Structure 1
Amino acid sequence: MSIFQPLLVLDDRDPSIIYKGDWTPGGVPLEYGGTTTYSLRPNSTALVPFYGDSISVIGTLKAQTSAALNQTLDMTFTLDDGVTLSPTTVHLGQPQATTYHVNIFQSKLLPVRRYKLTISHDTPENGFLCLDAFYIGGHDMYPSSSTSGGARSAPLSLVIVLGSLLGASVLITLFLVYRLRMGRSILYSRDGATFGKLYAPHPLPLTIFMKGNSGDT
């Protein structure tokens, strides 16, 4: 099952996720955010609200190093209490080595709106269901009142547009300042004679005429 490029990655510790039953926090650096939430008991559930058009559940499969662990993992995934997606059961075998970032469930493409994904642990006993993250796909913008308490990142297209507008504004401002400093605005006296030049680079020449005796200069 291929993993699509998510618009949002929801960590297993996101406060919007509601865990019921017997769940334990865990995690190692190889897992998303260094955290996981796992259960060994049947009938434990996780409710994941999201906004988008698809969701993929990422988990960790425990190695078959303990005889106490069940050799298979049974889960049921339901969208909107079965209205959008009927209960879908997934059976996974435990691998020989612990495997990370496993796509244990991926929904079909859905209309963009709000959904509630319910994950049920159906393994009779000692089935290691370990949730790591949730990949959510959708359109470019999220509604203002999102289902998750996590921060939302602005879409890349919006960032590019805003950055371009800001850059253009800075260039225009610098150009206007340059023209203002280099300008040669002419001021005129009341009789129309040239009085001087504003922002002249050198002082204007000043000639003093003195009235004296005939022949004096």
Structure 2
Amino acid sequence: IIIDDQDARITYSGQWSLAGSEMDFRHTLFSSQNSGASASFTFNGSSISVFGRVDNSSSGIVSASFSVDGSYPVSFANTAQSFVSYNKQFFQSRSLGAGVHKLNINSNSENPLWIDYL
């Protein structure tokens, strides 16, 4: 199952903006350039992944952390590059017991974090 960034079940907190291109899933993604911006998603399942875009316009490190059910956060960091990476996997949860879980996403830098789909 693919959950688009615009799905109403994703709760965004802090400053996020809607953007997108033809290469993004359903041509949209959510972006934040604010450390401390966050998003959460409650789901019923046994695993979850987060995909997004890494832009070539970032001047530094894109940094985010991901956790499920309050577990120790897993960090993602990617330095600026000369090309755009679409469908970049930022996070893959460990195998979870079947049931209801909560994913938390936190932006840790001022460089754009682009969330496309879960």
TM-score, length basis structure 2: 0.94
Q: C-alpha displacement at 1:101, in angstroms?
A: 0.4
- Residue from 91, 112, 116 that aligns with 1:128: 112
Which amino acid counterpart does residue 108 of structure 1 have in structure 2?
Answer: R
1:9 is paired with a residue whose SS is coil
Q: How does 1:51-130 map to 2 (within 5 A)?
A: 51-63=44-56, 65=57, 69-80=58-69, 82=70, 85-123=71-109, 125=110, 127-130=111-114
1:86 is paired with a residue whose SS is coil
Whole-Å Cα distance in 2 between the matches of residues 77 and 57 of structure 1? 9
Alignment partner, residue 36 of structure 2:
43
- Structure 2: any 5+ residue segments left out of the alignment? none
Runs of 4+, deviation exceeding 2 Å: none
The answer to whether the 8 Å contact 2:52/2:89 transfers is yes
Whole-Å Cα distance in 2 between the matches of residues 9 and 94 of structure 1? 27
Q: How does 1:142-161 map to 2 (within 5 A)?
A: none
**How many residues of Structure 1 are paired with residues of Structure 2 in the alignment?**
118
- Structure 1: any 5+ residue segments left out of the alignment? 1-7, 135-217
Which amino acid counterpart does residue 64 of structure 2 have in structure 1?
Answer: M
| CA separation of 1:43 and 1:111: change in aligned 2, threshold 3 A | same
Structure with the bigger RCO (C-alpha within 8 Å, sep 6+) is 2
Cα RMSD after superposing both structures: 1.1
The answer to whether the 8 Å contact 2:46/2:96 transfers is yes
Whole-Å Cα distance in 2 between the matches of residues 56 and 95 of structure 1? 23
The answer to whether the 8 Å contact 2:12/2:38 transfers is yes
The answer to whether the 8 Å contact 2:68/2:93 transfers is no
The answer to whether the 8 Å contact 2:50/2:92 transfers is yes
Whichever structure has more helix as a proportion of its residues is: 1
Which amino acid counterpart does residue 55 of structure 2 have in structure 1?
Answer: K
Whole-Å Cα distance in 1 between the matches of residues 80 and 7 of structure 2? 26
Which amino acid counterpart does residue 72 of structure 1 have in structure 2?
Answer: I
- Residue from 10, 15, 21 that aligns with 1:17: 10
TM-score, length basis structure 1: 0.53
Q: C-alpha displacement at 1:70, in angstroms?
A: 3.8
Whole-Å Cα distance in 2 between the matches of residues 70 and 97 of structure 1? 13
Whole-Å Cα distance in 2 between the matches of residues 53 and 93 of structure 1? 31
